[in-house]
């Protein structure tokens, strides 16, 4: 990727339509860097969008990479934020994972957990699972690699 004639990395595009489909997407967005202003809920369109710099855990390269990405969650009927102020647009956030909690099928609750404590999350009630994760450009060199203390 960084040498002459090296093939360019292809942007990632994944969809989830069932609860089991969400595990790979959750793993791929782990350690994504964003700010509260990068999240938007469109109540009329019923979708929740997150713009992020996704850490490329799937990369076999020794150089850490991040890709500008978007996560779009459709069929959202309710959004609850806990421990996150949407007006603090400059505060850096790190997305840890996405938890799926079943409700009356096909409805689910998706919980987006953020670093910084157990009380920092966003709960999305969805009629069904309809999620798209898409890289907007090829990965770029990251300044550092995420560290998770044991």
Residue 150 belongs to some domain of the structure: no
Residue 4 lies in a domain: no
Q: Check: pTM over 0.85? Answer yes or no.
A: yes
Domain-located, residue 146: no
Host domain of residue 46: 13-141
- Is 105 part of any domain? yes
Reported as a single tens digit per residue, the pLDDT across 52-107 is 999 998 888 788 999 999 999 999 999 999 998 877 777 899 999 999 999 998 99
For the chain, the domain total comes to: 1
Does residue 97 contact residue 127 with C-beta atoms inside 8 Å? no
CA distance 85 to 37: 10
Bridge partners, residue 109, by sequence: 101, 125
Digit-coded pLDDT (tens) for 98-132: 999 999 989 999 999 999 887 899 999 999 999 99
- Residue 81, in any domain of the structure: yes
Whole-angstrom distance, CA of residue 69 vs CA of residue 137: 8
Per-residue pLDDT at 7: 47
Look at residue 127 and tell me if it is in a domain.
Answer: yes
């Amino acid at each position: 990727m960084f040498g002459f004639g090296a093939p360019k990395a292809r942007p990632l595009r994944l969809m989830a339509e069932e609860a089991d489909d969400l595990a790979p997407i959750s793993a791929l967005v782990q350690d994504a860097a964003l700010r509260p202003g990068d999240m938007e809920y469109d109540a009329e369109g019923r979708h929740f969008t997150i713009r992020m710099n996704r850490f490329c855990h799937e990369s076999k390269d020794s150089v850490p990479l991040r890709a500008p990405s978007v996560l779009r969650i459709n069929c959202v009927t309710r959004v609850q934020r806990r421990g996150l102020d949407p007006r603090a647009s400059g505060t850096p956030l790190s997305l840890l994972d996405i938890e799926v909690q079943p409700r009356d099928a096909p409805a689910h609750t998706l919980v987006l957990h953020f670093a910084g404590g157990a009380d920092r999350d966003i709960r999305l009630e969805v009629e069904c699972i309809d999620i798209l994760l898409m890289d907007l450009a090829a990965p770029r060199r990251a300044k550092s690699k995420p560290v998770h203390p044991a």
